[in-house]
Amino acid sequence: MTAGQENITTVGAGSTSTKDLTLRLLDKLSTVLVFILILALLEAARPGFITFSNVSLIFLQATTRAILAIGEMLVIISGGIDISVGTVMSLAMVTMGVSVIDGGMPMELGFVVAIGAGALMGSANGFLVAFARLPSFIVTLGTLGIAQGMALMISNGRSLYGFPPGFDLIAGGTILGIPVAVIILAVFAVIMLGVFYETKVGRYAFTMGGNEEATRRAGINLRAYKVAIFAISGATAGLASIILASRIDSAHPGIGFGYELDAIAAVVIGGGSLMGGRGTVWGAIIGALIMAEIRFGLNVLGMSPFIQQIVVGVILIAAVYIDTLRTRARIKH
Amino acid sequence: MIAQSDSGTRILPIVEMRGISKFFGGVAALEDVDFHVNKGEVVALLGDNGAGKSTLIKILAGAVFPSEGSIHVDGQEAEIGSPARAKELGIETVYQDLALCDNVDVPTNIFLGREIRRSVVRGLVSVFDRRRMAEETRRLLTDLKINITDIHAPVRDFSGGQRQTIAIAKSVYSAAKLIIMDEPTAALGVAQQEQVLTLIEGLRNRGEAIVLISHNMDDVMRVADRVVILKTGRVVTNRPVGEVDRDGLIRMIISGIDEALELTAAGSPEART
Ligand SMILES: Nc1ncnc2c1ncn2[C@@H]1O[C@H](COP(=O)(O)OP(=O)(O)OP(=O)(O)O)[C@@H](O)[C@H]1O
Ligand SMILES: [Mg+2]
């Protein structure tokens, strides 16, 4: 279920030995194989399951989770965790909804509002982690609740309908046959590749995840980078909220809760380590694809959403358990 | 500022600490300690557990702030308020617990905090110059006769001795005025200790100034020019290696009494012969 064991060895640089390359390739492919295997299982259970429209639905449903997971991946690489991404996504969504639908703000400005609201909540997380020196799990558990409450307050607890026409095309439209949302994910992934491997924020996320004290002793202002990392995660939740809102062509204050589970599971399935220091953009995407595939498959098999929740929880625990075994094996050798 | 810098016959210390005291709550980790390092000198800092060695070098490294006393770098009084400031002043520290990021490769560690970038779209987009950092890393390792070929492996794949040499190389690369090493051979096997000691000897021959904390008297006798012994936060002795022997060092560390005190006047004898 896991990938990318040695993939951040050189923080982005290609490795030298071909044996390494083959191993890494296999490692990456292993998650792709898992994705294909699950598809095959679903086909076996429901012959005729594999159709172009089903597979592209899985991809479409994966985009929100993949975007969330990429931001989550950065936090987890740095040795932290952000469990507020789901409700921050809700908050960003209804803030955009209220501004655009109730306030008559232009849609484009609404996008800025959504991403800005996410970034603001993320920065708050970052400040608390960096300056109050609280564990990120606790801080983001708190903001999970705060963002949920704020989302309900801002929206008065109601769902918001009436986005301008065309808004639904973000998720529903296609360019050259490719869903717009998938294109957005691809562009975002490329930008985040730059952030991971070509900016100090990304590079120091890896090194502080590997050894925070060593990174501090190198004279690096960890606090600033921690704030940046959480701000990026929050902004990412804002971006995800736009795509999700477009898919349902409305905004719901309660819709994001639970997405944090999928995002974290996607990160771990995709080879990110909760111990920090390891993970890739690609891993987050394939991890999210597998999560979306499982949820979609459970739907098709007629499992209730309640059972889906249970399955996702079990997958998360199993993936973390595998990660722990992997880390132990690494320390031993 | 420095009293003894009146003529060319005296050497201006690179770093001089005067009257340093450090209290942790009621505990005095250091009391009125004078300590200096001259150019091209390897000073061994010795003492029993809890003598204050790490505290003294952490003050130099900007990780701990003295309660009393002053620090002079190249004759100028300096406040070392942060690790970044210590680096600016040319003081690099190799800590007891290795300060390496295990999950990334050798160049990433060596260049941590001082990465080289190159611009792709002039003035707009720049990326890390991985090739140059790798080249510089190889050159550095070759210069220091450190035998590591696969510099792109994560450093956790290397032996303890190799990792220690990487940590030391990292401090050398910054062209530091002074390199501080806190027990660089502790927790290493015999062959790996040898690897690190050879490196330190090489650095000494290059004229690097080094402060070496060690509990191994053979190492000290082999690579140090001068020894300073601390006991319960006070300086016991400060003399050239030529004036002491291995057993004498051990006795002084335990007793806290300067054995050869009658030979020289109290105070600090000059280091260089
Ligand atoms: N942060 C701190 N808070 C309280 N006491 C401290 C602190 N750091 C050091 N001390 C105390 O100061 C004294 C000197 O400690 P230090 O670590 O400098 O000794 P050392 O000579 O490096 O010992 P070792 O050989 O065991 O490394 C000890 O009594 C220690 O308990
Ligand atoms: Mg110590």
pLDDT for residue A23: 67
By alpha-carbon position, which residue is closest to atom 25 of ligand 1?
B49
A13 chain-B contacts, CB cut-off 8 A:
105, 130, 134, 152
Index of the ligand 1 atom closest to the CA of residue B55: 18
Q: Show the ligand 1 pocket: residues with CB < 6 angstroms.
A: B 24, 27, 29, 47, 49-55
- Shortest CA distance from B86: residue in chain A: A219
Q: A160: part of which helix (H) or strand (E)?
A: strand A160-161
Question: Is any Cβ of chain B less than 8 angstroms from the Cβ of A210?
Answer: yes
Q: Which of A6, A11, A203 to mutate to test the interface with B (most CBs of B within 10 A)?
A: A11
CA distance B43 to chain A (A): 23
In this complex, do B108 and A207 lie within 8 Å of one another by their Cβ atoms? yes
Residues A152 and A121: their CA atoms lie apart, in Å, by 15
Residue bearing tokens 């009084």: B77
What integer is the mean pLDDT of A322-329? Answer: 76
B84 chain-A contacts, CB cut-off 8 A:
219, 221
Q: Which of A6-10, A149-153, B142-146 has the lowest mean pLDDT?
A: A6-10
Residue B23 bridge partners (DSSP): B28
| pLDDT at A297 exceeding the cut of 50 | yes
Nearest to A253, CA basis, from A150, A167, A171, A162: A150
CA distance B27 to chain A (A): 25
Q: What is the CATH number of domain A62-332?
A: 1.10.3470
In this complex, do B101 and A210 lie within 8 Å of one another by their Cβ atoms? yes
| DSSP state, residue B87 | H
Band (pLDDT 50/70/90 cuts) for residue A12 is very low
| Exposed e or buried b per residue across A238-265, where buried means at least 16 C-beta atoms within 10 angstroms of its C-beta | bbbbbbbbbbebbbbbebbbebbbbbbb
| pLDDT at A19 exceeding the cut of 80 | no
Q: Which of A116-130, A192-206, B192-206 has the lowest mean pLDDT?
A: B192-206
Strands of chain B (E only): list them. 15-24, 27-37, 42-46, 68-73, 76-77, 91-94, 117-121, 125-128, 178-182, 209-213, 226-231, 234-240
Q: Profile chain B (273 residues) by mean pLDDT over runs of 10 residues.
A: 44 90 93 94 94 94 93 92 88 81 95 93 90 95 88 91 88 85 86 87 89 91 94 93 89 85 47 40
| pLDDT at A2 exceeding the cut of 70 | no
Domain positions in chain B are 15-100+177-182+207-272
- Shortest CA distance from B106: residue in chain A: A10
pLDDT for residue B136: 95
| C-alpha of residue B58 to centroid of ligand 2, in Å | 10
Q: Which CATH superfamily is domain B15-100+177-182+207-272 in?
A: P-loop containing nucleotide triphosphate hydrolases (3.40.50.300)
CA B8 to chain centre: 26
Which residues 231-290 of chain A have a CB within 8 Å of chain B? 277-278
A198 chain-B contacts, CB cut-off 8 A:
126-128
pLDDT for residue A71: 98
Question: Is any Cβ of chain B less than 8 angstroms from the Cβ of A330?
Answer: yes
- For residue B273 the two structure tokens come to 């012969």
Do A147 and A84 contact (CB within 8 A), yes or no? yes
CA distance B273 to chain A (A): 35
By alpha-carbon position, which residue is closest to atom 18 of ligand 1?
B52
Tell me phi and psi for residue A304, to 5 degrees: -75, 155
B104 chain-A contacts, CB cut-off 8 A:
8-11, 206-207, 210, 277
Do B71 and B128 contact (CB within 8 A), yes or no? no
Do A80 and A136 contact (CB within 8 A), yes or no? yes
A210 chain-B contacts, CB cut-off 8 A:
101-104
- For residue B66 the two structure tokens come to 């003295």
Q: In what order do the strands lie in the sheet with B15-24?
A: B27-37, B15-24, B68-73, B76-77
pLDDT digits (tens, 9 = 90+) for A237-293: 999 999 999 999 999 999 999 999 999 999 999 999 999 999 999 999 999 999 999
| pLDDT at A81 exceeding the cut of 60 | yes
pLDDT for residue A170: 93
Band (pLDDT 50/70/90 cuts) for residue A308 is confident
Strand A250-251 to A160-161 pairing:
antiparallel
- For residue B40 the two structure tokens come to 């091209």
pLDDT digits (tens, 9 = 90+) for A172-189: 898 988 889 999 999 999
pLDDT digits (tens, 9 = 90+) for B72-85: 999 899 999 888 89
The more confidently predicted of residues B271 and A204 is A204
Which of B100, B128, B134 is the closest to A211 by Cβ?
Answer: B100
Q: Which of A207, A275, A280, A328 to mutate to test the interface with B (most CBs of B within 10 A)?
A: A207
| Mean pLDDT across chain A | 90
| DSSP state, residue B43 | E
pTM above 0.95, yes or no: no
In this complex, do A10 and B99 lie within 8 Å of one another by their Cβ atoms? no
Under 8 Å CB pairs connecting chains A and B tally to 89
Which of B101, B128, B152 is the closest to A207 by Cβ?
Answer: B101
Q: Which of A1-15, A208-222, B54-68, B175-189 has the lowest mean pLDDT?
A: A1-15
pLDDT digits (tens, 9 = 90+) for A22-64: 766 766 678 888 899 999 999 999 999 899 888 888 998 899 9
